[in-house]
Amino acid sequence: MDNESTTKSFLYGALIGGAIGGLSALLFAPKSGKQLRKDITSACKEVMQEASEAASAAGEEVKDLAERGKEGAKQLSEEAKEKMKEGAQKIKGHN
């Protein structure tokens, strides 16, 4: 596993662990039902916002990777065409 992947896995694990820990703390804290529901709603909104931001960032990374892949494929295609032209010229020169 590469370093970038390990870092992302750790961050996602920390995010999920933090959310679970926060919800557990809310559920076991001695509060009134109304206050507890308010706290849970607030925590859920925060987790959803963080998840949305993470998904957006992941989407941007995918777009960047796709663009780099397209550029690399284009470069390889151009290099292959050049090699084919060189090979064809060598073949013509031997006849």
Provide the phi-psi class of 9: left if phi over 0, else alpha when psi is between -120 and 50, else beta: alpha
**pLDDT at position 78:** 92
Q: Cα–Cα distance between 39 and 33 in angstroms, integer?
A: 10
- DSSP per-residue string spanning 33-95: HHHHHHHHHHHHHHHHHHHHHHHHHHHHHHHHHHHHHHHHHHHHHHHHHHHHHHHHHHHHHH-
Identify the pLDDT of residue 47: 83
The pLDDT assigned to 75 comes to 93
Task: Give the pLDDT confidence of 1-50 residue by residue, as tens digits.
Answer: 566 677 777 777 777 887 788 777 777 777 777 887 888 788 888 888 88
pLDDT at residue 63 in the model: 85
Q: What single letter denotes the amino acid at residue 59?
A: G
Domain ranges of the chain: 3-69
